[in-house]
Amino acid sequence: MVIRKRPATKKIGAAAAVKAKSQQKTQEKWIRTTVMIREMNHGKIKAITYWEKKGIKEVVDEALKLYLKGKKVKPLPKKK
């Protein structure tokens, strides 16, 4: 009996397709930034990325969306 394993490329290709599809939905630009987070939160985020098969970027983006949802934010003052 021969058991064939799926090639790893299919799994990677499917993940890339899901990522591309989610990026197509939101045509907003991404900005690279550096932030400091607590070690405890980083561990939780890493665990979420593992179990939900997502990237850190997606998990943090979801958390920010939930935090900012419904918040009224005054615009920044214009530069002189």
Q: Tell whether 38 is covered by a domain.
A: yes
Q: Tell whether 42 is covered by a domain.
A: yes
Torsion, CA 67, CA 73, CA 75, CA 76, rounded to 10: -60
Digit-coded pLDDT (tens) for 19-77: 666 656 657 899 999 999 999 999 999 999 999 999 999 999 999 999 999 999 999 99
> Comparing C-alpha atoms, which of 43, 53, 51 is closest to residue 16?
53
DSSP state of 73: -
pTM tops 0.75, yes or no: no
Q: Tell whether 8 is covered by a domain.
A: no
Q: Tell whether 13 is covered by a domain.
A: no
Model pLDDT, residue 6: 59
Domain range for 40 is 33-68
